[in-house]
Structure 1
Amino acid sequence: MEHWYSETLRHILTAVVTSAVTYALLRQAKRVPAQDAAGNLVLRQPPLYRAMGLISAAIGVIMLFGTLLSINWERMRYDAHEQMGFGGAMLGALLFCGLSVPILQASATALTLTPLGVASNGPRGQHTFLLWHDITAVRYNLLTHELKISTPQACIKAGRYLIAFDRLVVELTHRLRLTPIQMGLPA
């Protein structure tokens, strides 16, 4: 029988780890951004972001193979508890593997701030370029922590944990005459 304090300790540990990772990501986002050959700022996700995606994928794969190798297939035919445990483990594996996909895609995306506009190089070779004077809307989504920069033809999303995200906000403020509050950024 588990004691109440082991459950409480688990919740406290989860909160501490989550807070530490968020703090580390925000701290890395304050780093000096890279520059390309032309001297333009290149904004990328910090290395910790990619590591989180790889860890999530690894947890999902371990859960999948661990469940497949340890399940009692004979008992699973007639035991509802065994079936529910198998379903829960498969759901957990799918959740972790599915979570890793958008994280790894975001970590492979780079934004480049140029004098003419902002460019995005996506994970599958997509290239989007928005001219400063064509940008019609800039909106921050509190749920996804993404800044959506839109023109009538296209849009670019910039994750909150990009290295030098604050520089992007300053550039948008300067070029578009918008305040961070008007963009929907929290105060």
Structure 2
Amino acid sequence: MKTAFILASSSPFRQQLLKKIIPEFHHFSPAIDESAKAGEQPEQLVRRLALEKAQTACDLYDCGLVIGSDQVALHQDDILGKPHTVANAEAQLARFSGEKVTFLTSLALLDIETGKNTVIVEPFEVHFRHLSAEQIRLYVAKEQPLNCAGSFKSEGLGICLFEALKGDDPNALVGLPLLRLNQLLLDWGIDPLTL
């Protein structure tokens, strides 16, 4: 019987990424509280949220493999949220000028029927060029990255903000670590090349 795949995310970016290795899947928007718990470290937060997102599928589906993911951006140990406004986006990018931002992207794989799950976290570093206020203003005006942690879209014009990217999987920066997902699926006896 063909395995049903479910993506616990409404993100169009994650959906586009997942289509690279899994051509057919269901998706939904998981309704969970994404607030950090008292004393929760960033890696603990993204691990918990990816699994909680995946677990919400159990209320909607009877069977299938669920993929959940979450991401936080860190600058000088501060967790960065989505800017939501132009002013906040410009302020975030000004703060990052000449600096490093680390992204932690979590990935949960959950079997609804058995409850078996695996959760990993993939780090990725972005090193920003020194940016002028005008460059920042132009970038935010052109791409409107108001719903993106870190105030940029690396899959678009945001690439012009960086001097270096460091990590094993550039897909993690966009929101879904495909190299790790492929390995998890192989570990679970599913080869994406056969899908």
Shorter-chain TM range is under 0.3
TM-score, length of structure 1 as denominator length = 0.27
Instruction: From the CA coordinates, give the structure whose radius of gyration is larger.
Output: 1
TM-score, length of structure 2 as denominator length = 0.27
More helix by share: 1
